[in-house]
Structures are given as C-alpha cells and as structure tokens.
Structure 1
Amino acid sequence: MTMALGSIVPAKGIEHKKSHKFPAAWTLHNGDNFFSSALNLTDSDPAEPSLESVQARLLQSLYFLSTCRFTQARYTFSSTVQMIFAIGLHRRLGRNRGLGSNVFFRPDYASIQCQRRTFWSAVVLDRQLSMFFGRPGHFTADTIDQDLPDCVNDEDMGNEGPIRPSQGDCYIDGLVSFTKIRSEVYALRDIPETVRFDVATELAKELDDWKVHVPGILNTYKPSMLHTIFRRQATLLGLAHCHAQILLRRPFLTAPYPKDDKAQKIRDPQIRTCIVACRDSLQQIIGLARDLDSV
C-alpha cells in the first residue's frame, strides 16, 4: 500500500511535503486508485509466497469487505489461504521445524509472533467469510496446530523475547479473545447447550472485566469530543466491543426460551445485553454515516 501511494502521488502532481495532509474527502474518493496500484504490485510480484505477500493479500481481502465487494474478497482470500499452507503458517514451530514449541526468549521471537498474528487473523477472517456465505471455512481444527500469539505489544517485543512484562493493555488480547469465541462458543463439534452457555458466560465476564480497565479516554467520553486520532480508536474499539458482546450472547437469544423461572433469570440479562449491544452498534454506525455526509 505504501509503495502504491508513493507511485501515485507524483503522478497526481501533488508535491510531497512532510507536513502535507490530504483532505478527508480527497482520501475517501481516491482510495480505490491507491488500492488498484497495490493490486498491480502484488499481481506482478514474481517471488515465492512469503509472510509479507500473505499480509498484503489479507489487507486486500479486508479492503474488499469494507467496500462491500464480498465475492472479490472471497476469491482473494481463497488464494491467500493456499499461500498460507505453502509457507506453513498453519503449523506450530516444533521438533524439526523452526525453533521449537517454546519460543519464549529464543532468537527471532518477533518474527514468530508476527507469523502467529498473521495466521490467526486469517482464521478470524475465514470464519467471518464462511458465516457470511454459509459455506465451510478453509481452516479446520484437525489441519492446524499453530499456537496463539503472545499478548505482547510491538514496543515491548525484542528479538529474543519480551523486553518488559505485559501491563494488561495489549491490543493482541482482542485477536486472542475473538479466536476463543469462534473456537469455543461456535465450534462445529457437538457441544451440549449447557456447556456452550457456561463457556459464553465465562468469556462474557472476561470481556466485561477487560472493558473496565480500558483507558477512560476510549471508554468514557463520546468519540465526537475527542481528537481525530482518538476518535477513530474509540469508534473502532466501541464497535469491536459490541461485536464481541453480540457474538457471546447470541446463543442465549437463538436457543429456545426456558420455562423454568431460575433459568429465565439467568437468560434474561444475557439477552438484554445482546439487544443493547445491537442498538449501540447501530447508533455508532449511524453516527459514522452522518460524519461521512458532512465531509
């Protein structure tokens, strides 16, 4: 994407200045031009599949999804999956592969964490596409054994391991939590309904505890009151939180309503929380649409 930006800006006759800022409307209307150049760069790349090429195509799939080109997103992601299998991102490093299963305080720690993050991001995207199209996903539990990424921020990561202990505010927590929701609450294997409810309740409690510790600037204030950078972060964080709330509580909403009073008292708060999350996410999306209309 960066290379595409560099190849287009001179052609548009815009002088490059360190302090130059593109207007929001200009960026919005010219995003496809940048993306087309990025596609040309990846399509013309003659090199073998690599971690960087997988990451580039995952970004392309996400862009297609964000612009409602779902079929193109699916085709692009399908080819990306083959590249993931080709370079072995779905396999854990161990035995005669790589540095072993315990890579903590080993060389290339940052590289291994980047591989794990890329793979599990692809797994989450695979689940989303499979649910959207109603078709089986590419990744199954019996074909992958990759470990989840460690909860370490980029600035705390060294070549041999974390350079400082986690402070409990790692942004990778979201990816790990989302993966747990997909694999434990929405597993394809047969799970008793009571077990599914217990797992969803436990993960929901962890999600509520996480929200309590989110910095106040991203949790308390309205996004419209914040600076542009923090406004985007607060909006994305709010939408992601609502999405997780809906995913966790949806089994309580879709399952048959119990006749037992005790079971109803347990089920009703979960259903109300799910409905509130749906309402909050809709309000945030409407707010985003109004902001775009005012650009």
Structure 2
Amino acid sequence: KRQKVTRACDGCKSKKKRCTGEQPCMPCLKLSSKCTYEAQYNRGTTPQETRETPPLRIGIDRDVAQTPCLPAYGLFSDTIDGVARPGSARQTPEIDEAIDGQYLGPSSAQSFLGKALRRLDRESVQTPAARQGKHIETETSTLSFGDAKVKQPDIAQFSWPEYRTATRLLERFFEFASPTYRYFHEPSVSEWLERIYNKSDVPVVAQACILFMFASASVFAVDRSGDTVDANSQGWESSEIYYQKAEALLAEETGPPRLESVQARFAAVQYLLSSSRPTRALYAFGTTVQIMQAVGLHRKRSERAGRQGLDMIAVEVQRRLFWCVFTLDKYLSIVMGRIPLLRVDDTNQALPIVVNDEDLAPEGIEQHASGPGRDSLLLATRAHVEIGLILARASQEQNRLPAITGRTHVEAAVRGTEEIRDWKSKLPPMMSGVIHPESLIPCFRRQHSILTLARLHAVIFVTRPLLLRNLSNELPELERRQYREQLRSCVQAAREAIENINGSARYQVLYPAFWFSQYVAFSAISIIHIYIIQMSRYRVPTNLFGPSFEEASLMQLKTLYELALVGQSRLAEAGVNSAPVWRYRPILETLSAQTSRCI
C-alpha cells in the first residue's frame, strides 16, 4: 500500500519531485542537499527530524534485540521514494563516486559501497570519497593526477645490469610477475637479451620491452630460503630506473607501429598498475588499445589485407597479446567502473593455442609439443581469458539501464555462478586445487593463486547485488532456494578470498605490487561487513550457515568480523603508498564502524 505523504520539502516542491516526507528526505539525502520545510503550506505538518535507532547486539535477548542497527531509511530498506513496495522492479538510480577527480562508475566496488554508506546514517552523507578531501597538488599533470608520487631517478648514467642479473630478472618476470599474462615468446626475448649483451643491433622497442620486464620483476626479491617476496626500497628504486629508461627508449621509436610496440606499452601498463599509478596506466592503456588496433591484432591474419605472411610464433604471440589486453580491459572497467574499450563482438581473433614456448617454431608446433597429460603454462592464460569473458557478460547484464526484478537478479546470479563452476571444472588439477599448491613449481603455484582470486572475485561480483535486496518473501520456492544458495556462495567466496590473501600477506607476498589482490581484498571485506549488517536487521535469511539463529549469528558473524578486521589491517599496511584512487581504508573504516555496532 502506498504511503501517503501530506507535505513535501522545499527542494522537492520546487523541483516537482516526489518527496518521502522525512527530514532529511531521500531525494535530498541522495543529492547531499539541505532538506527544509520552510515554505508555506495549507496542509500537512513539518516532519520531525529522523533519529537514529539503537544498535542491535547480537547474542542479547532476541525479544529486546529487534531494533535494527541502522536507520529505517537506509540502504537496506524496501521503501523507495516513500512507497513500500517489496519486490518492486524500480530501483534507485546508481550514484557515481569520484576520488581525487577520478570517476568511478557503478560497477566499481568503491561506488557500490559509496552508495551504501551514503544511506547508512546522516553522518555518512559525506561519503568516504568526499572525506578524503580535494587533492592539494594543483601542479600535478592531468595524466598522472591522483597517482602515487614516485621519485624520478636520474637515468643519465644508466647501465645495463650484469648478464647474470638480467637473466634472473627475466626468469622472475615470466615465473612470478606475469604468470598468466604470457604475451611474450620467452625464447625470442632471450635472443634479444643475448644480442644486447653481445653489442649487436637490437631495435629500441625490443630493448624497451626487456627493460619494462626488468621493472616489473624488480619489485620482487628472493629471500634466503629461495621464496619470492616483496622487494625492499632499493628494489623499487631499481624498478623505477628500468621503467624510466624504457620510456626514454620508447620515445625514440620511429616508423609504423608493430607487434613489439604493443608489447612494450602493455608491459608499461602492468608496471604502472603495480606501482599505484592507475591514472597514468589508464591513459597508457588507451594508447595501447589504439596501437593494437592499428596493427590489426584484433582480427585474424586472413583479414589483414596487404600484410606479409607471419610465422607461427608471430601469429601465436599476436593471439596471446590481444586476449591479454582484452582481459585486462575487463578488469579495469570493473575496478574503475569505466566503459570497456574492447567488445568481444568486434573481434574474430582466435584464442591462443595451449602450447609452451619451447614447442613453438616459426614453421609451426613441434612434434614433441604438449600432448595429453603434459602441463602447459598457457593453460592459465586461456583460463584467465575465459573467466574474463564471464565477467564481461555479467558486467554488461548488471549495467543494463532498464530496471530488473528481484527474480531476474537471482536468475542472473545463478547463470553467472554456473558459468564459473563450469569454468572451474575444466581447469587442470594443478590449477583447480586438486593438487596442493605447495607441491607445484613456483610458476604453477603463482598461476593457481591468481586464478583462485579471479574465481572468487567473479563469484562475489555476480552475487553481491543480492545482498542489497530482501527477497525472502517475494519469490516462489525454487527461486527462494536459489536465492539462499547464491547468498551462501557470495559470503563463502568473500571469506575464502580474505583467508587466501591474509595467508599470502603473512609470507610478505601479494599485496604491495599486486593491485588486483588489493581490490579483491577490498571487495571481500566489504561483503563481510554488509552481510553482518544485513543479518543484524534480519534482511537476509538468518540460518544460511547453521540450524539456528544463535549459531549462525553469535559464532559465525563474530568470526567473519574478526577475519575482516585482520584483512583490513593488512590492506591498510599495503596501501600506505598507494594512489588515492586505491586507498580503500577510509571506506572500510566507515563501514566497519557501522558493523561494530551490530556485533
């Protein structure tokens, strides 16, 4: 039944908008504008200011603990524009965020949580994005505004490292820094390196490619036990020297673009993301996509009229490079909430062949190449591309403009999780978890770690909209059961992701240089907080993980909360020098403050 509002606020009245009749009302709350009732009215009374209700303490007497920990007009209410409509197809418009001038669209986790925090209480009208304040550096270049500050090294006296060090850096790049984005042919790169140290002629773009690889590899180090860990400050300084020298060489490139032109710039984007410079990385990535299309990597060889024939190595590297760029495009569009630059409908490029570099020759694949039962490093590359395609479809479905019903939300989540489950079932044992990661060689271990995080992030992404909707009473039995299953999948994926990253952080890996791991941690921790808040308000089923309310609430929620706090502290430590766009701590602190009132 529609709630009757007898008086609209001054702002809604002047704009002829539907007012919710509260103070502040929902339209004014969304716009962060002052809500007043000063205009003269012949009917209706001025509403009392909305007051915050006492918190719910989980584990206290249930009859007393029926009061929600959040205001009734918050995100988790079914009231929309003053009308209580359970299961209404209408949704409130997405509200975009901007941190240090960087637009964050509705698919980004920052925007997703900014919308939540804006409605949790009146103090949250100033969102975490706004609380960070305006960037005081007005002299910073637009192309790097909001990025982490990095000291510019002097490269006038640059010299190549010793050959032994150079080979180790290349090995570290392929095994650890870029294990799934395998867009270089390793034997060809080794040949470039040999020619450089033999003082032979090597194109500047090829030299730049190697230096970009050195830069990405230098942010990691090998400890005394032989494990790869995050590098110290000296390692980061060396990586920046390699990067700046590579950029200088790339500026000397002349002539038409070619395959190496794309490889070098994509390697630069990877390093910029790892060093907390997302703004510069995004602009560089746009240039990379344009050059890639100019070279024609998005089309099969047969459609490139007028081009000379390419050997099998070049054909395969082109496939790998295109799909690596395509996959990163999907992640950047989701993380930053931007429109993807590449669409699968605009390409007919074949997926890369699962074949190791040593088995690939200009004439084709060698006879002793990877056959049944032989492991290939390209399996992870293919798997990463395929889950990127799943994310692309899910993101497109979530961002459709027409409002969708609660049932459609459930159906979309079911489709997404089924695709992810099918994707996982096709992974080889070393990447699916059948074989314990500690039993794998370092490269396969890193591939397993990346694909695990990619899978957990995908599950969270396709199921998280269900946490914001109360669908318990409006769905038929089948859909209600599916709804519960999807909620379980969402929370379980969040917990597993936090445990995975917390474990890696204890061994000093994953966080500082792995920008995607930081984002997954942020997404997972926020899901835990929202789930606890929803449980405390009885907005999601209370027996998802246990036979009784007491077991599910008192035990599991406290455990999840403590786990989230540990992950939050590690994320804060890793993000000290991160770019403002990726400083997740202010948002999570505001959210955890709300959660603490529910525990």
TM-score normalised according to structure 1 size: 0.74
Q: Which has the higher contact order (CA 8 A, sep 6+)?
A: 2
Cα distance, 1:261 vs structure 2 = 2.4
Distance 2:350 2:470 in 1: 36
2:453 corresponds in structure 1 to 239
CA deviation profile, 1:88-145 (whole Å, cap 9, x unmatched): 112223356489xxxxxx9733322211111121122222222333332222355433
Instruction: Give, in whole Å, the separation in 2 of the partners of 1:173 and 1:148.
Output: 7
For residue 123 of structure 1, the aligned residue among 316, 326, 338 is: 326
Q: State the alpha-carbon separation in 1 of the partners of residues 295 and 160 from structure 2.
A: 31
Report deviation, 1:240. 3.0
1:187-235 CA-to-partner distances (Å, cap 9, x unmatched) read 3696984774464244122233135x42289655465x88766654443
What SS class does the counterpart of residue 393 from structure 2 fall into? helix
Contact 1:61 1:76 in 2 (8 A): yes
| 1:32 maps to which of 240, 243, 254 | 240
Whether the 8 Å contact between 1:153 and 1:172 is mirrored in structure 2 is no
Query: Relative to structure 1, is the Cα distance of residues 75 and 251 closer, same or farther in structure 2, using a 3 angstrom cutoff?
Result: same
Question: Which is richer in helix?
Answer: 1
Contact 2:412–2:462 under 8 Å retained in 1: no
Give the equivalent residue in structure 1 for 2:385.
176
The answer to whether the 8 Å contact 1:149/1:176 transfers is no
Separation in 1 of the partners of 2:282 and 2:353? Answer: 28
Distance 1:156 1:241, change over 3 A: farther
CA gap 1:40/1:95 in 2 versus in 1, 3 angstroms: closer
Share of identical aligned residues, percent? 28
Change (3 A) 1:86 1:75: same
Structure 1 unaligned spans of 5+: 100-105
Q: Say which is worse superposed, 131-140 or 52-61, in terms of deviation.
A: 131-140
Whether 2:489 is the aligned partner of 1:273: answer yes
Pick aligned residue for 2:501 from 282, 285, 294: 285
Separation of aligned partners in 1, 2:290 and 2:454: 28
Match of 2:429, SS?
A: coil
1:173, 1:18 → 2: CA distance?
A: 26
Counting only pairs closer than 5 Å after superposition, residues 1-150 of structure 1 correspond to structure 2 as 7-9=159-161, 24-25=231-232, 26-94=234-302, 97=305, 108-141=311-344, 143-150=346-353
Whether the 8 Å contact between 2:394 and 2:416 is mirrored in structure 1 is yes
Moved more, 86-95 or 156-165: 156-165
Given that 2:263 and 2:321 are in contact with CA atoms closer than 8 Å, whether structure 1 keeps it comes out as: yes
For residues 130-173 of structure 1, what are the alpha-carbon distances to aligned partners after superposition, in whole Å with 9 as ceiling and x for unaligned? 23333322223554332332333434444334744454852233
Alpha-carbon distance change, 33 to 166 in structure 1, aligned in 2, over 3 angstroms = farther
Deviates more, 1:196-205 or 1:273-282: 196-205
> Structure 2: which 5+ runs fail to align?
1-154, 170-220, 224-230, 510-599
Q: Which residue of 1 aligns with 2:416?
A: 200
Of 267-276 and 47-56, the range deviating more from structure 2: 267-276
For residues 98 and 114 of structure 1, do their structure 2 counterparts lie closer, same or farther at Cα, with a shift above 3 Å needed?
farther
